């Protein structure tokens, strides 16, 4: 009888240990998911991942990038900003200087961006995209060479701690650049954070709230600032914010 009880005791302890191990493993899988892609074999997949991650963002897209020469990504970023999502970009000063393609494109799209040298005079060499709760990072720059020629790595990270660490780093660099007095930065600051989204139509000259009856035929999201800049005025039926 004693022997039987002892065995029962050992078995139940083992059972508890195994169960708690499985529970904690399950939790880990839920919290952390990391995938990796490599260029040049998966270069196009990397590019597509970047594009779709930007397109799917609902709240924010923060980017730190050294070299940026890809048209399709610039377009996705500008579209996202026009939707009213909080989009901000920090670029390396040497790569995105006056006269550079990316600088011109972002300025035309009115996307808030800053250029900087590295904190200690080196390069701003980070390659990070934060979209809502996803972090995309690795050696991959936003260029054709990185996509098709170079050997690069690219990590897709869903992890709270990694996300928070990158948000802190982004904020540090964004604020650091703010302390430098330059008209460009002040202008960018005034534009951010992006305002609420209103809706325009293909033909009308008014902007509307989401539920307005005038939006039955076409319904194009646009930021309030942009709508006003383009000469749209508030609809008198749904009276959107002005």
Residues in touch with Zn ion (CB under 5 A):
208, 212, 214, 235, 237-238
Helical ranges in 43-159 per DSSP H:
43-56, 71-82, 101-109, 144
**Distance separating alpha carbons of residues 114 and 64, to the nearest angstrom:** 10
CB of 241 to Zn ion, least distance (A): 12
Q: Does residue 166 carry a catalytic annotation?
A: no
Q: What are the Cα distances from residue 171, in Å, to 17, 165, 198, 209, 212?
A: 42, 10, 28, 32, 37
Nearer to Zn ion, 123 or 214 (CB): 214
Answer yes or no: 127 catalytic: yes
Tell me how far, at minimum, the Cβ of 242 lies from Zn ion, in Å.
Answer: 12
Catalytic one among 60, 80, 92, 127?
127
132 included as an active-site residue: yes
Shortest Å distance, C-beta 238 to Zn ion: 3
Using Cβ positions, the residue closest to Zn ion within the complex turns out to be 235
Catalytic residue among 71, 117, 132, 151: 132
Do the Cβ atoms of 140 and 154 come closer than 8 Å? yes
- Using the minimum distance from each CB to Zn ion, give the nearer residue, 64 or 235: 235
Shortest spacing between CB 223 and Zn ion, in angstroms? 17
In sequence order, which residues have a C-beta less than 8 Å from that of residue 96 and are 6 or more positions away?
68, 102, 103, 113, 115
- Give the integer Cα–Cα distance in Å for 137 and 128: 5
Q: Burial letters for 14-23: b for 16+ Cβ neighbours within 10 Å, e otherwise? A: eeeeeeeeee
Phi first, then psi: what are they for 68, rounded to 5°?
-140, 105
38 vs 214, beta carbon nearer Zn ion: 214
Label residue 208 exposed, middle or buried (CB < 10 Å: 0-12, 13-18, 19+): buried
The torsion defined by the Cα of 42, 44, 47 and 51, in degrees rounded to 10, comes to: -120
**76, 136 contact by CB (below 8 A):** no
Task: Tell the smallest beta-carbon distance from residue 218 to Zn ion (Å).
Answer: 13
Q: Which is nearer to Zn ion, 95 or 209 (CB)?
A: 209
Catalytically annotated residues = 125, 127, 132
């Amino acid at each position: 009888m004693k022997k039987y009880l002892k065995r029962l005791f050992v078995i139940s302890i083992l059972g508890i240990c195994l169960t708690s191990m499985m529970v904690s493993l399950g939790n880990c899988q839920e919290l952390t998911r990391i995938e990796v892609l490599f260029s040049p074999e998966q270069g196009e997949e990397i590019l597509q991942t970047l594009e779709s991650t930007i397109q799917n963002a609902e709240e924010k897209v923060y980017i730190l990038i050294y070299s940026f020469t890809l048209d399709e990504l610039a377009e996705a970023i500008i579209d996202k900003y026009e939707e009213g999502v909080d989009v901000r970009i920090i670029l390396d000063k040497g790569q995105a200087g006056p006269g550079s393609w990316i600088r011109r494109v972002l300025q035309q799209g009115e996307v808030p961006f800053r250029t900087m040298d590295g904190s200690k005079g080196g390069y701003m060499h980070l390659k990070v995209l934060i979209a809502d709760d996803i972090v995309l990072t690795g050696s991959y720059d936003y260029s054709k060479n990185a996509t098709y020629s170079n050997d690069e790595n690219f990590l897709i990270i869903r992890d709270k701690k990694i996300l928070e660490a990158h948000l802190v780093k982004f904020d540090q660099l964004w604020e650091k650049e703010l302390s430098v007095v330059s008209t460009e930065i002040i202008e960018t600051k005034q534009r951010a954070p992006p305002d609420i989204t209103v809706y325009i139509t293909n033909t009308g000259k008014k902007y509307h709230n989401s539920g307005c009856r005038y939006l039955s035929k076409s319904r194009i999201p646009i930021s309030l600032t942009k709508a006003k800049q383009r000469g749209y005025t508030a609809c008198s039926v749904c009276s959107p914010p002005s």
